[in-house]
Amino acid sequence: MRSLILTRILPPNGSYRAAHGVEGCGASSREAAWSGVSETTQRTVTARWVVPLTSLRDSLRTKRFAALRCVRGSVTALGWQDTYKDQVKATALRKSIPICTFLVLLLPACSLFSPEPVSSSFETMGTRATLTLAGKESSKLSGAADKTKQLMQDLNAELSVYRADSAVSRLNAVAGVRPLEVPEHTRRLFELSKVYGELTSGAFDVTIGPVVDLWRPVKGQTPSLPTDDALTEALARVDFRQIQLMDGAAFLARRGMRVDLGGIGKGYAVDLAWRECRNLAVRNFMFDLGGNVRVSGESESGLAWSIAIRNPFDRSATLARIEMPDDWAVATSGQYERFIEIEGRRYGHIVDPRTGYPAAGLAGVTILAPNATMADALSTGLFVLGPKRSIPIVKKTGAEAVFIPDKQPAELWVTPGIRSKLTVLIPAKVQVLPGW
């Protein structure tokens, strides 16, 4: 077991002033993090304690309390994870306080009574899916994972633009020529895509395919900026209103139109998986498909599920944690994961249909919504629109949002409803969305 002695607790990580008057700590339902100065190296470290003590809440009111008491007493704790940035030599337990001794004794016992969540992961839709069940339902994991995996594979066979035989690819191939029968999920997704197209005044447009293609790297070619002519020509083929839906069939009304469901398909898939799990009588779970997440019920001992937002400026770090409302979903859009570098500048994969250029100004947008399709579509669309023009849409849909402007030091512009659910883990200013 490793331990770390924090001789001086630093100011509250710029973000979080914990209860009980103790500074320097951030805590969420499953995780506590704080900064301090290592006694052995005198270097600043950030440590995170992932708390496996699921019953502590009941016995000691909150885990946050438990974690803080340990920090205050500079006490080693079971369950430390050495995620601190500087390697700190393990040091022995020093000052102890009674409550911590009590905790140390209590911890193994607690974990016996509250089984940890169990999870199953698989590759699908070009990303990784993970189904996590609260420990008390662990016996249902393998059945639910098999079912959701099959669902994802079937859906991918309908939607993928990387498969020539998918329903979407076949429809794209006859754009402007004739309508084609489309399967139920594809049709439903087209309907929803049109709804989000209207809602965002075209900032979210699934017919963006021809323009997105201009910003894709081509094997063996030095990346260069698309010409104005190429952009104008591609943009002329973009308009979600030209997706015509009829009984069991769809028609892309312009030649050369190309649908790309990359901005909404994963969210829709998450909703399908979520519904399937509920039909299988699984109540307490979280389904994650490449960062599109929907939760159900609670994790352990009555705790809400919480999700992490990665730091867009340092992808190995967590920026914040959000406690999820029951049954809700979350999605994040950013340009940092997929981009093309042209003449030393990065251009991301989310394109503004008004200009044909990758949307700029934000490092990331996280949307919490009652379902994953909405969270996915809005995170992409609002990334394009920017914070100011997004406000009426956020208000209308009842979603919650976190906007991270593309400038450092990091700032989080949030909707008021999300504030109490957010724990920021790095020095960052948090403020209500300007103009809310």
List interacting residues with ligand AMP (CB under 6 A).
Answer: 204-206, 208, 212, 260, 262-263, 333, 349-351, 353, 376, 379-380, 384
Cα dihedral across residues 87, 28, 411, 343: positive or negative:
positive
Closest to ligand AMP by CB, 25 vs 384, is: 384
Residues of this chain that interact with Mg ion (CB under 5 A) are: 263, 376, 379-380
Least separation in angstroms between CB 204 and ligand AMP: 4
Q: What is the Cα–Cα distance from 47 to 33, expressed in whole angstroms?
A: 6
Closest to ligand AMP by CB, 31 vs 271, is: 271
Torsion angle (degrees, nearest 10) of CA 371, 374, 376, 377: 170
Question: In three state form, how does the secondary structure of 223-259 look?
Answer: CCCCCHHHHHHHHCCCCHHHEEEECCEEEECCCCCCC
Least separation in angstroms between CB 404 and Mg ion: 16
Least separation in angstroms between CB 235 and ligand AMP: 12
Q: In DSSP terms, which residues pair with 365 in a beta bridge? A: 333, 403
The residue number with the shortest CB distance to ligand AMP is 262
Which of ligand AMP, Mg ion, none sits in contact with 53, Cβ below 5 to 8 A by type?
A: none
The residue number with the shortest CB distance to Mg ion is 380
Closest to Mg ion by CB, 263 vs 364, is: 263
Least separation in angstroms between CB 359 and Mg ion: 12
- Counting Cα atoms < 13 Å in the Cβ hemisphere of 145 gives 19
Least separation in angstroms between CB 203 and ligand AMP: 6
Q: Tell me how crowded residue 398 is: count the other CB atoms within 10 A of its CB.
A: 12
Which of ligand AMP, Mg ion, none sits in contact with 285, Cβ below 5 to 8 A by type?
A: none
Least separation in angstroms between CB 435 and ligand AMP: 22
C-alpha to C-alpha distances, 100 to 7, 50, 227, 319, 330, nearest whole angstrom: 16, 16, 65, 28, 36
Which of ligand AMP, Mg ion, none sits in contact with 384, Cβ below 5 to 8 A by type?
A: ligand AMP
Closest to Mg ion by CB, 263 vs 356, is: 263
Q: In DSSP terms, which residues pair with 122 in a beta bridge? A: 129
Least separation in angstroms between CB 375 and Mg ion: 8
Which of ligand AMP, Mg ion, none sits in contact with 366, Cβ below 5 to 8 A by type?
A: none
Least separation in angstroms between CB 332 and Mg ion: 9
Which of Mg ion, ligand AMP, none sits in contact with 206, Cβ below 5 to 8 A by type?
A: ligand AMP
C-alpha to C-alpha distances, 424 to 215, 267, 327, 359, 430, nearest whole angstrom: 33, 25, 23, 26, 8
Torsion angle (degrees, nearest 10) of CA 313, 127, 200, 216: 80
Closest to ligand AMP by CB, 137 vs 260, is: 260
Q: Where does residue 200 rank: exposed (0-12), middle (13-18), buried (19+ CB within 10 A)? A: buried
Closest to ligand AMP by CB, 131 vs 375, is: 375
Q: What is the Cα–Cα distance from 348 to 337, expressed in whole angstroms?
A: 8
Which of Mg ion, ligand AMP, none sits in contact with 351, Cβ below 5 to 8 A by type?
A: ligand AMP
